[in-house]
Amino acid sequence: MNVFYITGTSSGLGMALAEELLKNEDNHVVGISRNCELSHPNYVHKQVDLTDEVSTGKVRFGDHFKADKVFLINNAGTLGEIGYHGELDVSELADAYKLNLVAPAILINNFLNAYKDKEAEKIILNISSGASVAPYPGWGMYCATKAGLNMLTEVVKEEAEINDIKAFSIQAIAPGIVESPMQEKIRSTPKEKFDMVERFIEMKETGLLQTPEETAKMLVGHINSSNYNDPFVDLRELIASK
């Protein structure tokens, strides 16, 4: 039996990933988000506002004594407000950092606290972005928090080796450009707030965007391969190289 804790299962990639995993009766999924949109015998939902660090800190991970593998997939994220620093709303800025970086850090801490001494294989997958390694003017909140998530991944990986945590892997994954409400928001942004907007409109018009379902299938394929050696991978490049 495999157990997957996944944040952001109420829509988009998180929902598609949960649905794809649940096609295998050996998989059990625990969704963590504000809204529950899934119904399945092997699905349990934890209603949590991940921009609230107190609520996030109260998330507890079950014992799962019969589990062969236990996963934490930090998928929930937001682009935040698109615009240049000096013009940003402080509340939106704070919420973006809480959802994209603070919540994963808290959940990783709680996950390791719960399972570091357990025999089951323990895997943390952090959904990152190509924007974590390239600056996009107007996307300061997103670029910075995803870059922070990459570094957090590397730090936790080294700490696990120092602490000799057995059967543990952690990896940050850039899943590619996925059609989502985030992409719709990007395409509707005025050029004076995001000067690369035409590039994203063109990607939509030329069919270069992945669907959440296509991306979920690629992610599950990667999960099944158990290839977690590199701390950061681009999923599309990984699939293309096989």
Domain extents for the chain?
2-176+212-240
Q: Distance from first CA to last CA of the chain, Å, rounded? A: 27
What does pTM read for this prediction? 0.95
Structure tokens at 14: 């998180």
Mean pLDDT to the nearest integer, 110-120:
95
- Pick 2-176+212-240's CATH classification: 3.40.50.300, 3.40.920.10, 3.40.50.720, 3.30.460.80: 3.40.50.720
Residue with tokens 């999960």: 223
pLDDT over 90, % of the chain: 81
Please provide the DSSP assignment of 35-91 as one string: ------TTEEEEE--TT-HHHHHT------TT-SEEEEEE--------B-TTS--HH
**pLDDT exceeds cutoff 80 at 106:** yes
CB count within 10 Å of CB 107 equals 25
- Does residue 115 have an active-site annotation? no
Q: Which of 5, 43, 142, 228 is catalytic?
A: 142
- Say what the pLDDT of residue 90 is: 97
Q: What is the pLDDT of residues 176-201, one digit of tens each?
A: 988 877 888 889 888 888 888 888 88
- Say what the pLDDT of residue 200 is: 84
Q: What is the pLDDT of residues 72-92, one digit of tens each?
A: 999 999 999 999 999 999 999
Dist CA 188 CA 232 (whole Å) = 30
Contact 121, 70 (CB under 8 A): yes
